[in-house]
Chain A
């Protein structure tokens, strides 16, 4: 479970050190409060929610801290070297995702990167499935809007 939590935290924060801290904090919280969990079958859903909430708090408190990948002395070990520089759109998409509202960002990450079903996303976000669909659709539109505002040339190769 820990690698999945770490992966989710990294895809929400895009900083390997923050993701490690968030994962450890989430597991420590789970250790303390597992007795309060009524349904042990929802433990993974609960852990996902804890990671999402902790990541949201971290982003609110200190903002996004992308680990530079091109000229950094400490390269990000989770990203394949060189691929992110070659794919400029990929880098812009992750920067746009960080600027989304917290629930939209979480829903889009869980759907398009974690490949979860809408029922699972709704359970993690403690909402209805229809609301989870709306969150994902608004998040996609939000990423497109941010890309067009900041980097209008992003879709020059895709416009037909």
Chain B
């Protein structure tokens, strides 16, 4: 038997897979070969040390697993597919839109209070009498030179209320610019 064959037999012996006939042949070779005998004893020593190492390296404690295990038998929960997430997002958007549908029809800018005044019926306007509690404001404006002021009436929906806009008009004829306006400017 060659030493290479003896090495293979020793490996099989360590694995517990060496037949009896080959074990006898190996023993005969080991009695004649000191190198193979030393190699076998060293490998057996290593194997024994590893077995002792396995004994002392058993976990003495096990910390609780941070991953929650399902009680129904499925250890791992597979991730939801993409279409499920998309369907969930569409559903949430639909529900949110239905709940806020009233906000869509309200104007963002409220109209002026004057424009929101209710138009009174013609009969009510004809018989309208000033109410004691109604608020009436009157502004008196004295125009010194009527020709210099442009008065523009601005009627409202309420026939009793009229707004007058006063635009000052500057006459160029009365205040002509001097011809030599720029002559006294410093150079």
Contact = CB atoms under 8 A, between A and B. Distances in A.
Given A83-B56, A93-B53, A112 B47 contact: yes
Given A90-B53, A137-B11, A35 B42 contact: no
A160 B31 CA distance: 11
Contacts of A108: 50
Contacts of B78: 34-35
Contacts of B44: 158
Nearest to B66: A24
Contact of B57 (A10, A30, A136): A10
Contacts of A10: 57, 59
Contact of B54 (A6, A87, A113, A137): A113
Given A34-B78, A87-B49, A90-B52, A78 B57 contact: yes
Contacts of A2: 62, 65
Contacts of B39: 144
A84 B41 contact: no
B67 A27 contact: yes
Given A11-B54, A87-B49, A112-B51, A78 B59 contact: yes
A155 B49 CA distance: 12
Interface residues of A, number: 44
A84 B54 CA distance: 12
Interface in A1-39: 2-3, 6-7, 10-11, 20, 24, 27-28, 30-32, 34-35
Task: Specify the main secondary structure of chain B where it touches its partner.
Answer: helix
Given A155-B41, A160-B37, A11 B57 contact: yes
Contact of A93 (B46, B58, B77): B46
Interface string A62-98: 0000000000000001111001100101100110000
B57 A158 contact: no
Contact of A79 (B49, B57, B61): B57
Q: Is the interface of A mostly helix, strand, loop or mixed?
A: helix
Nearest to A108: B50
Given A137-B11, A140-B43, A159-B41, A3 B62 contact: yes
A7 B49 contact: no
A158 B53 contact: no
Contacts of A24: 66
Which of B49, B61, B77, B79 neighbours the largest number of chain A CB atoms within 10 Å of its CB? B49
Contact of A158 (B45, B50, B66, B79): B45
Interface of A: 2-3, 6-7, 10-11, 20, 24, 27-28, 30-32, 34-35, 77-80, 83-84, 87, 89-90, 93-94, 108, 111-115, 133, 136-137, 140, 143-144, 147-148, 155, 158-160
18 contacts: A3-B59, A3-B62, A10-B59, A28-B67, A32-B79, A35-B79, A79-B57, A87-B49, A89-B45, A89-B46, A90-B52, A94-B53, A112-B47, A112-B51, A140-B46, A143-B46, A147-B42, A159-B38
Interface of B: 11, 14-15, 37-39, 41-47, 49-54, 56-63, 65-67, 76-79
